[in-house]
Structure 1
Amino acid sequence: MSKTVVAALVGALILTAGVAPAAADDYPSWDDVQAAKANASSAQAEADKISGLLAQLQSTANAAGDLAIKRAGEYGTAETNLQAATAKSDDLAQQSAAAAAKADRLKAQSGKLAAQLTRSGTSDVSLRVFLSANDRSPADSSLLYQLGAMSRLADQASSLFAQATAQKNVADALSAQAAAAQRIRDRLAQDAETALQAAQAAKAAADAALSEQQTRANTLYAQLASLKNTEASVERSYAEGVAARAAAAAAANSGGGADGFAPPPGVVVDPAGAQAYAQSRLPAYGWGGTQMACLIKLWNQESGWRADAYNTSSGAYGIPQSLPASKMATAGSDWMTNGNTQIDWGLGYISGRYGSPCGAWSHEIAYNWY
């Protein structure tokens, strides 16, 4: 995908998200920073401007990430619908073929009986029975038996023909249903392809916004540090800490857990590996085995420990079902695809909001969200 296309996607994303992007000339140069350092008020104003630009960059990247997850979720739903429609179409086609084959067998059996009756000459047997009406000989019983047998064969042939006709009607009806299901399946296939393209475009836009944010942030943090006579790493850590605390403090109803999936390119879904990683992180919070048992129950209910779990109603995403999904950016820029990053954010959120996984699980039991 060309840089021009990506830039257009980012622009469209910004308009959709309602986040105003900073123009290139809004960013301060190093000359601006050095000039601002001449007096305290100018330095503070420039520092505030830089802080605002950093927040704006993060908001833009977050909005891009949230839209990418939304589009991926729409693709996940379209793919699920397509799979169901394909299964139904295939099943109806198989039923139709089986019904047609059965109708052919019944028709063939009916035809064989009809041919047998023709060869046996039913009318000849009837005539002989009539002529011998006054001549009771030992052959009479044999003739009557033959006539009864021929009558039964005729009834059987008629019954088989009726069954063949009914089965043919069933086959025709199933064939019509299969054709209708195939048309629906074809439409859903197109919907899924369109959704996939939209998801890929949104992911490309999110990646572009993240790259822009990271590139600009490196310079802006260095400029901010220069204005404050600190280090860029100190300013970055402080800003990230503030953002992480704000995200952890903001509780949001995730809607009762995931009911779909949103698979952005590169996502790793490994529930067992995710649980093992979470187990390794608990000691950092002073939590023991009991807390892990609660955490397993909590995230089993919320997401099944899937990194691509998605709530189609609320938009909550990931193993901890973050809402909005981009809250997890405070734990790492790879939050869309890395389950470990999602877990790091989720554990921090649980610690800050509920004190422990068991506290979060108690809230989940009571309200169906945490």
Structure 2
Amino acid sequence: MTWRVGAVVTVLAAALVTAGVAGPAAAATSYPSWGDVQAAKANAAATQSQVDRINGLLDGLQAASNAAADLAVKRAGEYGLAELSLQKATAKAADLRTRADAAKAEAATLRAQSGRLAEQLGRAGGSDYSLRLLLTSDDSQSADTLLYQLGAVAKLGADSSKLFAAADEQKNLADSLSAQAASAQRVRDQLAAKAKTALDSAKAAEVAAEAELASQQEHATTLYAQLASLKNTAASVEQAYAQGVAKAAADAQASNGGGGAGAGWVSAPTGMTVNPAAAQAYASSQLPAYGWGSDQMSCLVRLWNKESGWRANAVNPSSDAYGIAQALPPSKMSSAGPDWLTNADTQINWGLTYIEGRYGSPCGAWAHEVSHNWY
């Protein structure tokens, strides 16, 4: 399940507070000892009371673990959104700076061209041509030549003026773009700080989720064994029964439990390798187990392409839906396995079971997605 970046064990207490999640259940909960269990077996009433207590503790462990994991997904989505905003702001600031530099360079080129024309105009002596034209003889050829030369000088002056004006316009544009680039850079720096804060919060929430899961796994093993002793069953039977009840409850949750609108997801900062192609290959291999033919795969590909791009770390920041199947709330996938946060196969197993129970097939789910924009 780890999303950890670097060592975090030493900051666990601070991380739990930062993430807004209570510490591991073990820190505040009293668990029954084996002596309590043996004493309770002395009479039926005490046995039932201890059974109820253990079931309550198991429910509490699962609830705490789910709540911490859901919060971790939420914080990851907040970070993903902050990072996306930062990337856009960075690109905008860079583009403005590039355009400002280009405008500045263009202004310098135009100004240089204008200067060269002005220099040529000075050497040509435009006023001399005008005077010579007034004093010339009636020689029409000489007059035509002087008129042509005067026109050329006039055009030279006009071109120089146009270039100077264009250079001035480019300079003003460069100044404006430079100011915009500086402003965009300040926004970018603010967003960078926000993204850093969001990432720290996401890491802290991940640590809290991991701690809750560890607590659940540590204590659940003993509690299931104690429950089995009280009920004269096997611990594996009790655990399988509890998992079945949890799965049924998860499948009966919110009607929009499979996914949200499907657009606008971001990537959570997980440490896992995200491989959409491998995820699709695994999903295809599981279709026969549900009695579906290969024709259903095209519908499933379109469905989860829209929902998540087949990315196991996809988070919808607006709804907190998570994973390849975009489960909502994310912790519903715990019914398929405790590693749902980072295991694409576990997410797919949950998603296929959800589709089977609610729509009958991937094509049924895709039809609903097309008509309602969720499934």
TM-score, normalised to structure 2's length?
0.91
> Which of 2, 9, 16 lines up with 2:15 in the alignment?
9
> Which of 221, 226, 231 lines up with 1:223 in the alignment?
226
In 1, the alpha carbon distance for the partners of 2:197 and 2:288 equals: 45
Shift of 1:89: 1.1
- When the two chains are superposed, the root-mean-square deviation of aligned CA atoms in Å is 2.1
> What whole-Å deviation, never above 9, does each CA across 1:272-312 have from its counterpart, x for those lacking one?
21111011111112211222233223222222222122222
| Contact residue 21 and residue 68 of structure 2 kept, 8 A | no
> Which of 299, 304, 312 lines up with 1:307 in the alignment?
312
1:341 is aligned to 346
4+ long deviations beyond 4 Å: 1-4, 11-16, 19-25
| Contact residue 258 and residue 310 of structure 1 kept, 8 A | no
- Equivalent positions of 1:1-370 (< 5 A) are 3=9, 5-10=11-16, 13=19, 21=25, 23-24=27-28, 26-132=30-136, 136=139, 138-253=141-256, 254-370=259-375
In 2, the alpha carbon distance for the partners of 1:288 and 1:262 equals: 31
Which residue type is aligned with residue 91 of structure 2? A
Shift of 1:264: 3.6
Label 1:223 to 1:8 Cα distance change in 2 as closer, same or farther (>3 A): farther
SS of residue matched to 2:295:
helix
In 2, the alpha carbon distance for the partners of 1:128 and 1:325 equals: 92
Question: Which consecutive residues of structure 1, in runs of 5 or more, have no partner in the other structure?
Answer: none
The percentage of counterpart residues that share the same residue type is 60
Label 1:126 to 1:155 Cα distance change in 2 as closer, same or farther (>3 A): same
Label 1:318 to 1:142 Cα distance change in 2 as closer, same or farther (>3 A): same
| Contact residue 57 and residue 213 of structure 1 kept, 8 A | yes
Which residue type is aligned with residue 153 of structure 1? L
TM-score, normalised to structure 1's length?
0.92
Shift of 1:245: 1.5
Question: Which consecutive residues of structure 2, in runs of 5 or more, have no partner in the other structure?
Answer: 1-6
SS of residue matched to 2:241:
helix
Shift of 1:188: 1.1
Label 1:228 to 1:175 Cα distance change in 2 as closer, same or farther (>3 A): same
In 2, the alpha carbon distance for the partners of 1:252 and 1:8 equals: 37
2:3 is aligned to none
Q: Across the two proteins, how many residue pairs are aligned to each other?
A: 367
